[in-house]
Chains A and B, each alone.
Chain A
Amino acid sequence: DQQVKQNSPSLSVQEGRISILNCDYTNSMFDYFLWYKKYPAEGPTFLISISSIKDKNEDGRFTVFLNKSAKHLSLHIVPSQPGDSAVYFCAASGASGTYKYIFGTGTRLKVLA
């Protein structure tokens, strides 16, 4: 049973436009969420996080939105740049203090110049 789902395996966006990556989860006990970016042959790079006590967190071009009632979060990248082309993973944790994260399967973003 996949508790964290990224239903879109890939996404293509024009440079300068908004990229929206989606993530759904099934466990209502999850209370902390992360987004990662991964380039080929590199480890995942942390992008942004959000706690369940918030519904939005912003860091530069990256904004994460959390809809707890829908068990849904999304990552917005504005404006999208070719260097953003990578695989994006969302991750969720509900186990206090253990750093036990469950990851989605990833969405491959391609930003077209």
Chain B
Amino acid sequence: SAVISQKPSRDICQRGTSLTIQCQVDSQVTMMFWYRQQPGQSLTLIATANQGSEATYESGFVIDKFPISRPNLTFSTLTVSNMSPEDSSIYLCSVPGTSGYTGELFFGEGSRLTVL
């Protein structure tokens, strides 16, 4: 399984500011995914980050609010822009465990953001 590191692990942010979360994987992967877990909720897919092309966003998530970069096959960033208290969540980076049709996802340890 891939080793996935996220920074920061947690942060407290002020309303209206932006924060960038970094995700580093120890192997090259084609697809990287960003998930959000709001308090007491399930994990929700924000977007798929593909190297060399724009990220693909899920319904309810837009690039202006959650810009994503994917400069190479081992690294991605997610920015949470113009934050409000509703953005207080755990943000998780994940990568596929196998190639092919489908399979398990492996997750980083998450970045817990609290917006005041």
Binding site for B on A (CB under 8 A): 2, 4, 32, 34, 36, 41-46, 49, 89, 91, 93, 96-106
- 8 further contact pairs, Cβ within 8 A, besides A41-B109, A43-B107: A34-B104, A36-B107, A42-B109, A44-B92, A46-B105, A89-B42, A101-B105, A105-B40
Contact B40 A96 (CB under 8 A): no
Query: A2, A43, A102, A104: which contacts B108 (Cβ < 8 A)?
Result: A43
Query: A42, A46, A89, A100: which contacts B97 (Cβ < 8 A)?
Result: A46
Q: Given that A49-B104, A93-B102 are known contacts, is A99 also in contact with B110, CB under 8 Å in the complex?
A: no
B60 within 8 A of A: no
Count A-B contacts at CB 8 Å. Answer: 62
Contact B107 A4 (CB under 8 A): no
Name the distance in Å between A103's Cβ and chain B's nearest Cβ.
Answer: 4
Name the distance in Å between B94's Cβ and chain A's nearest Cβ.
Answer: 8
Q: Given that A43-B4, A43-B109, A99-B33 are known contacts, is A49 also in contact with B42, CB under 8 Å in the complex?
A: no
- Which of A4, A41, A44, A101 counts the most B-chain CB atoms under 10 A from its CB? A44
Contacts of B41 in A (CB 8 A): 105
In the bound assembly, the distance between CA atoms of A32 and B105 in angstroms comes to 12
Interface residues on B, range: 20 to 34
Query: A41, A46, A97: which contacts B106 (Cβ < 8 A)?
Result: A46
In the bound assembly, the distance between CA atoms of A46 and B92 in angstroms comes to 14
In the bound assembly, the distance between CA atoms of A41 and B90 in angstroms comes to 9
- Which of B43, B45, B106 counts the most A-chain CB atoms under 10 A from its CB? B43
Contacts of B33 in A (CB 8 A): 99
Contact A97 B104 (CB under 8 A): no
